[in-house]
Structure 1
Amino acid sequence: MSQPAQQQTPPGSTADLDPQPDHGEESYRGSGRLEGKVALVTGADSGIGRAVALAYAREGADVAVSYLDEHDDARETARWVEEAGRRVLLLPGDLADPQHCRDVVTRTVDELGRLDVLVNNAAFQMSHESIEEIPDEEWDHTLAVNLSALFHLTKAAAPHLGPGASVINSSSVNSDQPSPQLLPYAATKAAIANISAGLAQMLGERGIRVNSVAPGPVWTPLIPSTMPPEAVESFGAQTPLGRPGQPAEMAPVYVMLASDEASYVSGARIAVTGGKPVL
């Protein structure tokens, strides 16, 4: 698969992507693996987050959808959750704000009744050819959205998570194979792998499992809204499978980690990279 050169304004829109990504709308079949659970998924308006929200709903979970301000995309995610017969809660706002992180968790518990699965997936990135090009404010913002939000969300969620609960953090192949053009983003993804391993040990005595997923290149609105058109055109071609992944190809790993089938899986980092190894 290849895609034409294209550009969007951040954070991007699914409707404007060419070709359209596959979130599992026509392919994902649930089997009750998350029946009765409530999941909070950040960055769930599009991309991996939408695919995870859709899959979780079809597996029987109610889903809280956290997103910035992409209201059209978020409503489309909500439509798929509701079509699966599950409750959905839309939670717009900026996760760079620690208070909003706390509010997102509080509203999920208050309105959906509990919290069993937290997926820290929201992320920001931008491409730069030199360190001098990276604005100080962008460095701070990238750390706030990608890393600090994970801390604030998990800290707020922990008192509500019981034995068997699951925290799943989106790391990246960039965690140990950093693209120099994505310097701040790659640094946060390495930190996410590290904090996930630490949290697995810290929260294990409570019966809470913590894992991370390391996607490779995945076709989402983040790509044309944060990369130059020529990089978009060749995006994913460098993988052994020769193409970017689809969001739908990520979701089954997030389902497995959230399910009781993974009751002894904690502290793991699972690569979904099209063949690029993650150490």
Structure 2
Amino acid sequence: MLETVLADPLFYLSFAGALLITGAIAGVLAGLLGVGGGIVIVPVLFLLFPFLGVEDSVLMHLAVGTSLATIIPTSIISARSHHKRGGVDFALLKSWGPTIFVGVIVGASFGAVAKGEVLTLIFAAVAILVAINMAFRKEGMILSETLPTGIARHAMALVVGMFSVVMGIGGGTLSVPILTAFNYPIRRAVGTASAIGLIIALPGSVSFILSGLGHPDLPPGSLGYANLLGFALIVPATMVMAPVGVKLAHTINPANLRKAFAFFLLLTSLRMFYSVFFG
């Protein structure tokens, strides 16, 4: 029972240590591979939380909500940094931003009432697609020379907002592959995605916090479906370790590591599917 686990002082040490390690891993991989922290944080928390006594009833909601909260400060810092270098496309933000926000509201409303198994299946399915894209997409491969206009453009923005908030990830994991597939410059795509992350994470985290208030199975330090201890440990660790990942990217082959991370995502997705159908 969760009450028994919480009575053990070692729980708090192990809980804090696991979250600190999660932030460090997320930071290194973000700097090394250019992936958003959420795509790392959510699956790692999904794997670690059960060992810390977190109940299945709140497992995925807590992983998603905590991840969204951590994205807020990191996206602000990242967006400011990219803006100073001219890497944020405000014209695209003006076009995509309102539709992404609508998608976030729809996705957050769904995520707040959906069962944990449903959120797990959505993350697992999309993570497999992300893994395939990371492992097999060739550099320079594009679908079109320019972004589509009209309804098609807004449909892409809606999908980015809806699925990102339900998965607990920033906009980069989905928006960067989409933008670069339409011949969008990679640096502008990454810089603009950092700003998109704030549009997703701020309302998304508020929604998960409000919807989880008062739930009896939440671990200590939780505000709704966002664990404040996780937030306090993951964010600093991510910021400290991200530069380490950047340095490593210049000394080892990131292409092979990208495939290794894709393999990690694939295994995590399969583990999530297994937990839903056979767990």
* TM-score > 0.5, shorter chain as reference: no
Choose 1 or 2 for highest CA Rg.
2
TM-score, scaled to structure 2 = 0.28
TM-score, scaled to structure 1 = 0.28
- Larger % of strand: which? 1
Larger RCO, structures 1/2 (Cα 8 Å, 6+ apart): 2
- Larger % of helix: which? 2
